[in-house]
Every structure is written in C-alpha cells, then in structure tokens.
Amino acid sequence: MKLILSLLFVFSTSCIFSQNLQKTLVILDAETKLPVQDATVTVLKTKQFYLSNKLGEVTISIKGESALKITHATYETNTVRASFLKDNNTILLKKNTKELDEIIITKQHPQKILKMLIDNSIAHFTMPARLKVYEREFLKLDDKYAYFNDGLLNFQLTGNPNIARTDILIEQNRSYGLKDEFVGDDAVGYNLDNISENYYNFKYLEFLLTTSAKKDFEFIIKSYSKTHSYYIMQIIPTDNAVGLYDHYYIVYDYKKKLIVEVSSVLSDQMLAKLSDRPHLNPKEIEKSSFKTIYKIDDNQYYFFSSREEIKLKRKINKVPRVVEVSNTMVTTAFSTKHFTYKDNEIFKGKTLYNVPNHILTNYWDISGLTATDEELSIIQKLSELGK
C-alpha cells in the first residue's frame, strides 16, 4: 500500500509540475504596504490551500482557470481571477478590524464564555477527516542554525471530536544538519503526536479555565471585525500574577461560537520579572510564542495552520546550550474521505528527527508555504553540513 501511495503521489505531482503554472503573489497591507503574514490563499477550483510567509509571499500552482480567495482575520476577503495574474503579483488587502477599541460587556464572565467556545468548537470539528499537512522546522543551537526538517504528512482523524485518534502517514520528508550534537526526544523536535490533544481539544487553553487563572489574568472581550462577526478575547496576566504566563489572544465568531485563531506571546514585561523571580523560569525560557488558525468552510470546521517558536536554555548531553526551535504546519488539502493503510505504515515517532530522508519530488515547491531566500540559504548550508 505504501508503494501504491508513493506511486500515486509521484504521478499526481509530476502532472502538477508538467501541466500547472506557478505564480507568485506578494500580499501587502493596502495602507502600510507591509507584508501580510498568515494570509490564506485558496484555489477555489481545486480546494488547494496556501499560507503567506513573513514576507507576504505565496507561490501557487494553477491548472486552467480558477478564482483565488485570499482571507485573513484582520483583513477584508479579496478574490482574484487566476487568468489576470502575471509572474509576480502584488495583492493589497484592506484592514477590516475596528479602528477604535470597543469593549463588549457580557452578563457572563469571559472565562465562562471561553469554556463555552472551547466546548462548542470541539463539538463542531469535522470528523472523521483527513488533513494533508506540510510541516517545516528549524533549530538553532547557541544562536547558530544546526538542524532542519520538513515533510508532507497525512493526518487521518477518526473517532469523535472529544476522543479523536490521529494516524500519521509520511509521504515524503527530508532533514539536514548536525544530528549528533543533540540526542533525545526532549532536545529537538515538535511533537507531531500531540496534534489532536493540542489543536482539536485545545489542551493548551485548559489552565485558563481554572480558578487560579481567574485571579492571575484579566479577561477582556473587544469588537474586532467590521466585515465579520468576530470578537477578540484578550487574556493578559495581571501585575500580581505568580506564574510565568503568556499573553493570549483568541479571535472567535460570536454568532457561530467557533474559535478562529488562538495566539500567545511571552511578553517583555513578563520576561523582565524573571530577574526578580528566578523560580518562575526553571527552564530559563527566553522567547515563546504560537499562533493557531482554524478554518470555517461552509459546514466544515478544522485545524488549518500553526506557527510556534520557543527559545530556552537547557542541558544537552550534560552541556548547557541555548536551544531555539521554530515550527510551522499548514493544511494544504482537506477531505472527509478515508484512504486505507496498514498499521505498520503509521508513523509511530514524535518528530521527523530520526526519520530517513524519503524524497520523490521537489514537494517543497508546492508545499503551501513558500520559503524565503534566507530560509533557502539556511537549508542549503545545512544540507551541505550533513553530507
């Protein structure tokens, strides 16, 4: 079955490269002309998804005539015809966020509203489902790039939203770098096995529902969008908070009661506390942030993308090191159809760290996430290190 899947993928990918045209979009803020990161570009004809990088760049593959829908929670939706595109195209997006902060007064405490949003979102996730995901990860040791991996993965989710099982099948993958410098599951790598727990059960938000969180955080709900029924819930640590906490921002559709985005960042103010309260930082975290986007598409609701970064000090092989990991995942295609596979074909590991390279095509060129010139340079250097 694995061979059949591989042959089918090679055939379909070769068709894409031989028949499809590649176009590059640069998505900018209409007012500031700054790049728009995390904009979703959907090829409506094929339901292929792409995500803009930090430079606002998207490289898409088009076969025949189709419209492209460009969406972002902060901007108005824009639709363009593929036939109008040139080799390089600048797309300007107009902001749809409220110019003035309007605090929403609610009868319930926002913490109870968050609990309702989490429960309702979990109940409405489309199940069963199959997500074709592109995953990319960079790792630095002592502020120098030391390792890279990426891969095309299939996440097949079965069961029900409350008790979901995720089987992962690897189509292609590659990794480069000095692997011998860091050994062990806790030293490197994003835990792919946690996608259901973290993204489909909102595990990372659970502690915000506790009694202590009500004391340590200020919960504020504000209006967010002029064109969508979106509110934003800001959950900010108070000055008296006794833990090392991120600032949380949750964008949600208040009519459908579904979570659209979750992001967090460890603020400079919180990091400044570390010198006064060293017990708050046992792992000596220097940077931490993540952003998760969920897609509402007609009657379907599912995980779309995540971007996580963490920098901390820890011992590797008993030697103190500074470790920085950045990981991005983007769903490039979504389906409710199953495909069959054997149990021994399921990926049992946590990361792509020790998986042998399996490259059939230049899959990264149609990955859904365009690499910047800087990232391409880093990948090339790391590939040379591994030779």
> Could you list the pLDDT tens digit for every one of the 387 residues in the chain?
343 344 334 434 444 434 567 888 999 999 999 999 999 999 998 899 999 999 999 998 887 778 999 999 999 999 998 777 776 789 999 999 876 678 888 889 999 999 999 999 999 999 989 999 999 999 998 999 988 999 999 999 888 777 778 899 999 999 998 765 554 444 455 677 777 678 889 988 999 999 999 999 999 999 998 888 999 999 999 888 777 788 999 999 999 999 999 999 987 776 666 555 554 455 577 888 999 999 998 889 999 999 999 888 877 777 888 889 999 999 999 999 887 888 888 988 778 877 889 999 999 988 999 999 999 999 999 998 765
- Max alpha carbon distance in the chain (Å)? 62
Which candidate, 376, 370, 355, places its Cα nearest to that of 153? 355
In sequence order, the β-bridge partners of residue 247 are: 265
What does the pLDDT read at residue 302? 95
Residue whose tokens read 């055939």: 11
- CA 348, 352, 354, 360 torsion: positive or negative? positive
* Strand 21-29 with 88-93, pairing: parallel
What does the pLDDT read at residue 7? 37
Q: How far apart are CA 342 and CA 354, in angstroms?
A: 21
Q: How far apart are CA 233 and CA 77, in angstroms?
A: 22
What does the pLDDT read at residue 187? 46
What does the pLDDT read at residue 276? 53
Q: Which fold has domain 2-93?
A: Immunoglobulin-like (2.60.40)
- CA 372, 375, 377, 383 torsion: positive or negative? negative
Sheet holding 217-223, edge to edge: 163-177, 144-160, 129-141, 319-335, 300-316, 285-297, 258-265, 247-253, 230-237, 217-223
Q: How far apart are CA 186 and CA 283, in angstroms?
A: 12
Which candidate, 154, 133, 140, places its Cα nearest to that of 328? 133
Q: How far apart are CA 95 and CA 218, in angstroms?
A: 27
What does the pLDDT read at residue 179? 60
DSSP character for 184? S
Instruction: Give the start-to-end residue ranges of the domains of the chain.
Output: 2-93, 110-349
At a CB cut-off of 8 Å and minimum separation 6, what does 278 contact? none
Strands (E), 178-299: 217-223, 230-237, 247-253, 258-265, 285-297
